[in-house]
Amino acid sequence: MNDPRYWQEGDRDHIDVSMMEPPGPFVTILRWLESPECGTEVVVHLSRDPIYLFPDLTERNWRWTYLKNTLGDVVLHLETCDN
């Protein structure tokens, strides 16, 4: 399993979990959202549509927007609903 990549672009954090095997992306994203380093938004890069992640995001009061959704390349913008 490959490790996630983290970087900042502009004022947004990015996490690339596209090279990770399930459930790595799911676990990594949720851990990031619960970490002190996490701000109010993050861009997540994945290799597939994370349909099982959406209920957990809703439960944690996060909303998502697709920035890209093609086969093998999904980019989501996650933002707290508290904004």
- Secondary structure of the chain in the HEC alphabet? CCCCEEEEECCEEEEECCCCCCCHHHHHHHHHHCCCCCCCEEEEEECCCCCCCHHHHHHCCEEEEEEEEECCEEEEEEEECCC
Q: What are the tens digits of pLDDT across the range 22-46?
A: 999 999 999 999 999 899 999 999 9
Q: State yes or no: pLDDT of 54 exceeds 60.
A: yes
What is the predicted pLDDT for the residue at 62?
97
Q: What are the tens digits of pLDDT across the range 10-22?
A: 999 999 999 999 9
Q: Say how many residues make up the chain.
A: 83
